[in-house]
Every structure is written in structure tokens, then in C-alpha cells.
Amino acid sequence: MNDSWCFFSLSLCIKALLIPAYHSTDFEVHRHWLALTSSLPLSHWYIDTSSPWTLDYPPIFAYFSFLLSLPASLIDPTITDLVAGQNYAAPSAVVFLRLSVAAADLFLLSGAHRLSSRLPPFRRRILLALVIWSPALLIVDHIHFQYNGFFLGILLISLGFMVEGRDLAGGIVFAILICSKHLFMVAAPLYFVYLLRHYCNGEWSRAVARFLVMGLAVGAVFVATFGPFVYYGQIQQVFHRLFPFGRGLCHAYWAPNFWVFYIILDKVLAFILGKLGFIIQTPKASFTGGLVGDSSAFAVLPQINPIITFLLVLLAMSPCLIKAFVRPQPKQIIRWVAYTFTCGFMFGWHVHEKASLHITIPLGIIATDSLADARHYFLLSIVSCYSMFPLLFEPQEYPIKVLLLAIYSVLMWVGFSSLFSNSKAPKPAMEKKVERSGNGTGLVGPVSSCYLLGLVGVEIWGQFLHPYIFGSRFPFLPLMLISFYCAIGMMYSWAWQLKQIIRNS
């Protein structure tokens, strides 16, 4: 545990330095939730409209906000004042909420430690550095402001139990995760199939008994979480808050996923057909307006609704579900879970770019398993982190995000190169051929190198050339370019993971 605390302590020092940095409106969202849960009875939590930032996380996180409000009210009562506290960002509030995020990262530390405790020392240290020092997590949680480390820590704890063969505990913890942040339910089909085949196995009577035990345990979590709101007759309102499908297919800044190509193709077709004399109706909710539109914003291609995205996600993850059903293996569960999150990210409805953390953090756990995994993670983590650069748009944060990504990239290069150049490092037979290909350590091939250099070109265009050429015109164009270019890398990651699952699982 000493290694884990060392990595965590160093990350804590970095987080302390980031306290004065920019914070987004998510800061006010979470501050308001402290005030809401502290000032109102539970029966009013999901019907309150005193602020635009209504409570839209599941009840366990609401209970977590209530617990945080107790010390907050002692430190500065205005933090938890529903009226006077609106848009309150005094130093006391900023420091308290920043430190609450850092403290919640203890869950991330616990999950990473559980999954790394049985590894050789050098691999363990690389794994801890990859997860705890993630620059994307620092950008999203400790500058932009969210609690992803808390949620991802719960996920890693669940995966740790599953890898150890403690399926019942893993299922219960995953149920707690869903009741904390419902976006993680993308992995629910995989958990269901895997637990059904791995935990509920054996003779018929034993399988039925275990199925009932798992069902009762997981059901108890949901009953305890949502039961009070069923009692108050508000369960429909709670689910309406959790699933606001009216927000549209894409966020204002497009997540780098499949829908980027779909939108751009629609724009290109509309332009070409318009030039050919066809009458094309331009949708009012334009995807390039920088605002959240609705799902009917396509001019030429078929419209997309939540049901279509749901079916596409299920279809994309079906090879993984089949593998888990035919041959459930604890050693593959992390890879499978990461893949299901990748499917949700690539084809889901109204996906935020921050959701790529659900992919990179689990894959960081297995990045040291083989050279192929290290190469994939090296590329993916850089692309994922760079796609989040637009979250920090103020000039004073620019050198911070660049420096965080640059240092992390160097650490990955040094760590992976040292690990796989060591003759004692784990190198499956299929990886030895890669290392003998004349590509140095084999960490970055020529295609990957060109692609990563392209990221530099995209950044130079957005920061220097676009303002010089266009001035203040077309402000959404640099964001479109980042989304499109990063979407290429994310699509490659999805295809690579699918290939690994089909070939090796």
C-alpha cells in the first residue's frame, strides 16, 4: 500500500496547486446540490426548480451530496444556503469543494490498489501512475470540476471483486455504482450475462439459488436507493430527471464518436445537393451552432432517435456479450467492461466527451498486460485527453493542460519502454513478433506517429492559424476539427478492442 499512497500523495499536491484554476458551471451545479439536499426534505429533492441546475443524478449521489453538506455548512453556511448561495464561489466554497473531489479520489486509490496488489512491483507502479495520474481525470475533475474519480473508483472496486472471483460482491458494488451515476449502466448487459454464466453456474438447483441470491442482493440496493421516492410517488419524476432524452443526439461540443462522421456526411450531402439544385431544408437546431439541438437536425440523412442509438450500442457490444456467455473468464472482465463503455461512447445518445474516462481508466489497468495493450493505451489516452482540451478554454489554463498531457506522455513512453525492453517483462508469443519488427521498442508505429503528429497540427490550426485567418468568424470550426480528428482515433480504438475480444478472449 506504500506505493499507492506515494502516488496518491503526489497527485494530491498537484490537485492542491490546481485549486485556484478555472472551474466550469459544474461547480455551481454541485454546490447547489449540497444546498438542495441540506435545505429541503428528501421528498422535494427531485421536484425542486429553484435553480436551473436541477438534481439529475441517482439518489446515492444525492445522499453523498447531503453528507458533504454537513461539514460544508460548518465551514461556510452560505455554501448550503439555497437562496443566498446561488452562484457562490467564495474561496471557502472553492477550497472545500475542490478538496471534497480530491478526498473522493480515495475510492479510485482503493480500486487501483486492489487491482494492482498482486502484480510485480514495477508493473504495479506503472499501473498506479496510469490511473492515479491520469491527465484527463485531472482536467475534468480538478479543473473543470466533477467527481469522476469517485465513480470510477467504485467501478474499479467492483472489477477487483470480479477478477478475484467474488462475483456477488462485484455485482452489489456495480449496483451501487449505477445508483450513483446511471451512465455506467451501459455495462449492465455485460454484467448480467457474465454473472448469469459465471456466478449462477453448476447444477440446476445451485444455479437457481445463486440467481435468487444475486437478484435479492442487487434488488436490495435499488430498493434502498429508490424506495423512498416510490413511497412519495415521485419515481416517474426521478427517472424523467435521469433520462432527459430531449437534449438531442449530440452535446454542444461533439464527443469524438461515430456521430461526428454522420453529422459531417449530412452537411456534405446537403451542400452538394444544394449546389446541384435540390431544395434542402436547413434544420433550425443546427449541429454547428454551438448549441444543444434535438435529434431531428439532419437535412439529408435519416433522423436518429434514442431507440436507434440504444440498438446500435447493443449490436456493437453483442460479440462481447456472446463471448461472456459462451466462456465467462474473470481475467477478461476488465477488457470486456472497457469495450462496452467504448460502444456506449461511440454510438450512444447525447454522449459527453468526458465519458471517454470510462474507457481509459479501466484500460489503464490492463495496459501493462502486453505490448499490444500498451501501444493501444498510449494512443488512446493521448487522444482522449486531447479531446477534452476545449473544456479549458481560458488562456491561463492552456499551459496547464498541455503540460499535463506532455508529462503523462513522457511517463508512459519511459514506463512502457522500460517494461517491455526488460527480458523478464510479460511478453506473450504474439507480442514478440511485434518487438522484432525493427520499430524500436515497438510502442509507436509509423501510422500512429503520423496520427499523433496530426494532433499537433490540429492544435496549431485551432490556436494560431484559425484566429489569424478567420478572426472571430466560424468559432465552431476548430472544435469540429478536434472532434473529427479525435473521432478517427476513437473509432480505431473501438475496432482494435473488438478485434482483441474476437481473437483472444
Dist. CA 375–CA 370, nearest whole Å = 9
Q: All 3 cell numbers of residue 266?
A: 449530412
> pLDDT tens for residues 271-295?
899 888 887 777 654 555 444 344 4
CA–CA distance from 61 to each of 35, 40, 86, 96, 232 (Å)? Answer: 14, 16, 20, 17, 19
Residues 6 or more apart from 272 whose CB is under 8 A from it?
none
Check if the beta carbon of residue 169 is closer than 8 Å to that of residue 125. no
Query: Is 454 within 8 Å of 485 (Cβ atoms)?
Result: yes
Alpha-carbon torsion, ordered 423, 424, 428, 432, to 10 deg: 0
Taking a C-beta distance cutoff of 8 angstroms, is the pair 22, 142 a contact?
A: no
pLDDT tens-place string over residues 49-104:
989 999 999 999 999 999 999 999 999 999 999 998 899 999 999 999 999 999 99
* Cell (9 digits) for 24: 466550469
**Which residues contact residue 413 at a Cβ distance below 8 angstroms, ignoring those fewer than 6 apart?**
378, 443
Burial class (CB in 10 A: 0-12, 13-18, 19+), 235: middle
| Amino acid letter, 206 | R
The half-sphere exposure of 417 on its side-chain side, counting CA atoms within 13 A, is 10
| C-alpha cell read off for 475 | 468559432
Q: Give the CA count within 13 Å in the CB-facing half-sphere of 73.
A: 17
| Neighbour tally for 417: CB within 10 Å | 15
133-148 b/e with 16+ CB inside 10 Å = b?
Answer: bbbbbbbbbbbbbbbb
Q: By the 8 A CB rule, do 358 and 184 touch?
A: yes
Distance CA 112, CA 158 (A): 11
Q: Are 449 and 489 in contact (CB under 8 A)?
A: no
In terms of phi and psi (left: phi > 0; alpha: psi -120 to 50; beta: otherwise), the region of 328 is: beta
Residue spans of the domains in the chain: they are 251-303, 368-505
Give pLDDT < 50 ranges for the chain. Answer: 285, 289-296, 423-440
Provide CB contacts within 8 A for 412, sequence distance 6+.
Answer: 130, 377, 378, 381
Cα–Cα distance between 328 and 325 in angstroms, integer? 6
pLDDT of residue 436: 36
CB 181 within 8 A of CB 61: yes
Determine contact, residues 254/263, Cβ cutoff 8 Å: yes
- Please, are residues 150 and 104 in contact by the beta-carbon 8 Å criterion? yes
3-state helix, strand, coil in the chain (%, to 5): 70, 0, 30
Residue 496 grid coordinates: 482494435
* Nearest to 259, CA basis, from 193, 312, 314: 312
Distance (Å, whole) CA 349 – CA 248: 8
Contact indicator for 501, 339 with CB cutoff of 8 Å: yes
Q: How far is CA 240 from CA 56, 251, 382, in A?
A: 9, 19, 35
Q: pTM score, two decimals? A: 0.93
Contact 297, 250 (CB under 8 A): no
Provide the pLDDT for residue 17.
95
d(CA 322, CA 381): 27
Question: Are the CB atoms for 46 and 38 separated by under 8 Å?
Answer: no
